[in-house]
Amino acid sequence: MLLNKFFMRLLLSFCFCLISHLTFSQNWQIIWEDNFDGSQLDLSKWTHDIGSGSQFGLWGWGNGELQFYQSQNTELENGIATITVKEEPSGLVDSWNNSFYYSSSKITTKGKFDFRYGKVEARIKSIDGQGFWPAFWMLPTNGQWPCDGEIDIMEQWGNNYLTNSTTGAAHIGTCPYSQASHFYQNFSSYISSGSYADEFHTYSIVWKPDTIKWYVDEVEKFVLTPSSYFSIPNQHEWPFNSNEWYIMINLAITQDGPNLNTVFPNQIEIDYVRVFQDISTSSLNYEIKDFDFFPNPTKEKLYINKNLIQSVHIHDLSGKLLLKKIINDDYINVDFLNSGIYIVTIKGKDGNKKNKKLIIK
């Protein structure tokens, strides 16, 4: 089975390279990925959200969801991560002393990996059944909801029949939350036959300044720009050009819950999650309009906007200066650095400074 999966990945990689060349015409480089090849979830890449959200002042994670998240509902085998939803007849009790009679899992890169812009993709086999709500989505690190945004790459709602529709969306609004000032744009894409739970499908976005595009199985389904929202710029700002963002995948149960036809236990399966960024020279000034660098993590080069940045200093975690460079080019060689974590200080031509963590692979 592992051998079959290896050849399948080779075929998928070939197809992805061909399609991305024809469709996107960009030079994508993987900056982060998990192929779930181990026997346990890689905790250097992921962490678990636990419980019902009560510890954050949320009832059912803010949506009245009926599941209690726990880490043991995520398992890895033969290169596949499985999130299983189960009945819990005895109940699982949260910090508000409420009992939950279903368990599931939510994995997130929060505190482990975040980024801005690129192609974000997962290959997932979904789930059939009333009440099930799988999602692959992103939020901004240290952001507030909904004023700092939310990007839903894939959401599906199970029903009495087949899960033949997949959706994606982007949320904006004001903080604190007000229903009157919360807006989102979304799409639905229907499979021609069967269900999204019958086999694996790829769900992705291509995210650039002022643009987000959604893809299902490498076919473009939806595009958003600031002009897609009538409330921009008079009432809201486009929040998707700001902050660093982290990834989440979870299997929830909606407030309406399952019915007698819903099968337990049940699961979604995840083959891989990947983040790419475009390193083509022609795209550098477009991709790096702000005070930043990419890719991160990296092995050899950091790309920057030489029109905005005057100098870059790199220190190790003890504070030792390892590189001091006046910027004349649109990249910096960092192949002399050993694998590990470093602190980069960027000084702009306007005199402002920014410190950011750099990971060398």
SS3 label, residue 186? strand
Selecting among 155, 218, 220, 237, the annotated active-site residue is 155
In DSSP terms, which residues pair with 86 in a beta bridge? 103
**Chain position carrying tokens 């900056």:** 31
Selecting among 150, 220, 237, 244, the annotated active-site residue is 150
The residue extents of the domains of the chain are: 2-278, 293-360
User: Is residue 287 annotated as part of the catalytic site, yes or no?
Assistant: no
Q: Which residues of 319-344 are buried (b: 16+ CB within 10 A; e: fewer)?
A: eeeeeeeebeebbbebeebeeeebeb
pLDDT at 248: 98
Q: Residue type for 261, please?
A: N
CB-based contact 58:177 (threshold 8 Å): no
pLDDT at 234: 83
User: Is residue 155 annotated as part of the catalytic site, yes or no?
Assistant: yes
CA–CA separation, 329 and 309 (whole Å): 10
pLDDT at 361: 85
In DSSP terms, which residues pair with 335 in a beta bridge? none
Residues in the chain: 361
What is the second-level CATH architecture of the domain 293-360?
Answer: Sandwich (2.60)
Question: From first to last of its 361 residues, what are the pLDDT tens digits of the chain?
Answer: 444 554 455 445 444 444 444 444 468 889 899 999 999 999 999 999 999 999 999 999 999 999 999 999 999 999 999 999 999 999 999 999 999 999 999 999 999 999 999 999 999 999 999 999 999 999 999 999 999 999 999 999 999 999 999 999 999 999 999 999 999 999 999 999 999 999 999 999 999 999 999 999 999 999 999 999 999 988 888 999 999 999 999 999 999 999 999 999 999 999 999 999 887 633 333 344 456 787 888 888 888 878 788 899 999 988 899 999 998 888 899 999 999 999 999 888 877 888 888 999 8
CA–CA separation, 64 and 41 (whole Å): 27
**Nearest Cα residue to 215 out of 23, 11, 27, 47:** 23
Cβ-defined contacts of 51-57 (< 8 Å, 24+): 51/94, 51/95, 52/94, 52/96, 52/98, 52/100, 54/94, 54/95, 54/96, 54/98, 55/94, 55/95
Pick the CATH number of 2-278 from 3.40.50.2300, 3.40.50.720, 3.40.50.1000, 2.60.120.200: 2.60.120.200
